[in-house]
């Protein structure tokens, strides 16, 4: 068995290679995009090769002789599409026994808040650019699977653990005071520790079912955003006094009106609140309005519901800081999703069991951060003045 890992310099790829090395797996071919990003793995003394996956010949040579291929690459559109096509074509041509692809829960878009999402849910029409790109990738993998490439597609939510860019971002927001908790932080924060994801990836190399159907991978226990903020607050060096906003306020901050000052813009702004993902949850709780909401939700055909939502709903614009607000709009938007992801399929298909709970995952992050950043060392406060 020889496993090629593309994107090995990235957060997921490097964590996976480290996981395999720790498990004693030796025959790994870690491929990196550029030599500058190879430091995390080069410390093992590995032979790291730079491969441009948009170059068909390079990809063919890299996959030659490999029995398993893992794709953890990330990049601009030509990498995500053209590069993926090259990986799939070379894997098919080489008769690779297993192709493991890292997808994302973002392919489902913003679902009804409060739901527990399953893999067979239909993606919403409103996807971010990233979600759309990952969805198109999944479709390409499915097509290759139909042609005979046994494929497993794993879809993680936000990824936590050591080196986690997501946690570093939340930590930075806590430190700067730009994190606001929606509804007091009670909304769920769907997470998977990168080591748990690596366990699932390892399982995906050997599992029986390889039909390219998407499989969620999570930690199992879903913390709230307040749980997450409380765990990170000590690293932020400040007491937990994180401001909170209501869902309506969060919605207003995260929605950018299309035409300010015009009637259509005002209507759309109002519509964005009415049709926003948290409105359903609010209406359901109202004793007077819940009946009407239930009627509309249950009786209206899906197509009509989508049209209504598109008509009234907010125009999704690329994630960005809203200048007028002090809060990080992206992190508010992530909270508003308020969706849990079921990892039942991962358990049954991959025999996946998370190695770390949320608490253990945060301990791993805490230890990693303390060691690598020198947190609480003699020089920590001095350097903090820079």
Q: Report the nearest approach of another protein to the CB of residue 295 (Å).
A: 49
Q: DSSP for 128-174?
A: -HHHHHHHHHHHHHHHHHHTT--EEEEE--EEESTT-HHHHHHHHHH
CB of 5 to another protein, least distance (A): 16
Residue 46 contacts residue 75 (beta carbons within 8 Å):
no
Q: What would the two tokens of residue 93 be? A: 């041509």
What's the full length of the chain, in residues? Answer: 386
Q: Which residues bind another protein (CB under 8 A)?
A: 9, 18-19, 22-25, 34-40, 42-46, 48, 50, 161-163, 195, 199, 355-356, 360, 364-365, 367-368, 371-374, 377-379, 382-383, 385-386
What is the nearest approach in angstroms of another protein to the Cβ of residue 357? Answer: 10
16 or 225: whose CB is closer to another protein?
Answer: 16
Half-sphere exposure of 26 (CA within 13 A, CB side): 0
Our CB check for another protein shows the closer of 30 and 313 to be 30
Considering the complex, state which of residue 34 and residue 321 has its C-beta at the smaller distance from another protein. 34
Enclosing H/E stretch for 116: strand 116-117
Residue (181 or 362) nearer to another protein, CB: 362
Q: Which residue has the tokens 């006094």?
A: 241
Nearest residue to 154 (alpha-carbon basis) of 352, 362, 20, 335: 352
Judged by CB, which is closer to another protein: 99, or 163? 163
CA neighbor of 124 nearest in space, from 327, 293, 280: 280
Hunting for tokens 């690459």 — which residue is that? Answer: 73
Shortest separation between residue 291's beta carbon and another protein, angstroms: 49
CA-only gyration radius of the chain, Å? 22
Are the C-beta atoms of 15 and 196 separated by less than 8 Å?
no
- Residue placing its CB nearer to another protein in the complex, 140 or 203: 203
Please say which residue, 293 or 366, places its beta carbon nearer to another protein: 366
Q: Kindly tell me the number of DSSP H helices and DSSP E strands found in the chain.
A: 18, 13
CB 11 → another protein: shortest distance, Å?
10
CB of 261 to another protein, least distance (A): 40
How far apart, in whole angstroms, are the C-alpha atoms of residue 242 and residue 174? Answer: 7
- Name residue, tokens 């955003």: 225
Closer to another protein by CB, 293 or 368: give it. 368
The Cα 9–Cα 31 span in angstroms is 8
Distance, in Å, from the CA atom of 161 to the CA atom of 342, rounded to the nearest integer, reads 20
Token output for 287:
């004793």
Query: What minimum distance in Å lies between the beta carbon of 171 and another protein?
Result: 12
Eight-state DSSP code of residue 300 = S
Nearest distance in Å: CB 383, another protein = 5
User: What single DSSP character describes residue 82?
Assistant: I
């Amino acid at each position: 068995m020889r496993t090629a890992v593309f994107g090995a310099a990235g957060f997921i790829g490097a964590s996976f290679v480290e996981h395999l090395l720790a498990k004693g797996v030796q025959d790994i071919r870690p491929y990196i995009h550029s030599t500058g990003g190879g430091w995390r793995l080069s410390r093992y003394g590995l032979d790291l090769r730079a491969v441009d996956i948009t170059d068909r010949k390079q990809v063919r040579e890299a996959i030659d002789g490999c029995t398993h291929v893992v794709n953890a690459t990330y990049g601009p559109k030509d990498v995500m599409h053209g590069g993926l096509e090259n990986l799939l074509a070379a894997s098919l041509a080489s008769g690779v026994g297993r192709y493991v692809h890292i997808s994302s829960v973002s392919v489902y878009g913003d679902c009804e808040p409060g739901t527990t999402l399953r893999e067979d849910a239909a993606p919403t029409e409103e996807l971010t650019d990233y979600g759309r790109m990952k969805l198109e990738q999944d479709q390409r993998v499915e097509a290759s699977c139909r042609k005979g490439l046994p494929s497993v597609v794993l879809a993680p939510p936000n990824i936590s653990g050591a080196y986690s860019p997501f946690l570093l971002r939340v930590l930075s927001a806590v430190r700067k005071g730009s994190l606001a908790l929606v509804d007091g932080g009670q909304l769920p924060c769907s997470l998977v520790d990168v080591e748990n994801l690596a366990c699932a990836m390892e399982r995906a190399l050997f599992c029986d079912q390889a039909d390219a159907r998407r499989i969620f991978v999570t930690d199992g226990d879903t913390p709230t955003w307040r749980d997450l903020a409380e765990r990170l607050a000590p690293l932020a060096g400040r007491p937990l006094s994180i401001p909170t906003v209501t869902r309506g306020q969060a919605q207003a901050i995260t929605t950018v009106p299309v035409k300010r000052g015009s009637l259509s813009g005002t209507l759309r702004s109002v519509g964005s609140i009415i049709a926003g993902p948290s409105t359903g949850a609010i209406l359901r709780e109202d004793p007077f309005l819940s009946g009407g909401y239930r009627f509309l939700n249950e009786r209206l055909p899906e197509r009509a519901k989508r049209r209504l939502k598109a008509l009234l709903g907010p125009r999704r614009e690329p994630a960005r800081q809203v200048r007028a607000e002090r809060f990080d709009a992206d992190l508010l938007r992530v909270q508003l999703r308020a969706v849990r992801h079921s990892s039942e399929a991962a358990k049954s298909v991959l025999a996946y069991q998370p190695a770390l709970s949320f608490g253990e995952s945060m301990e791993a992050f805490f230890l990693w951060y303390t060691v690598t950043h020198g947190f609480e060392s003699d020089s920590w406060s001095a350097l903090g003045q820079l």
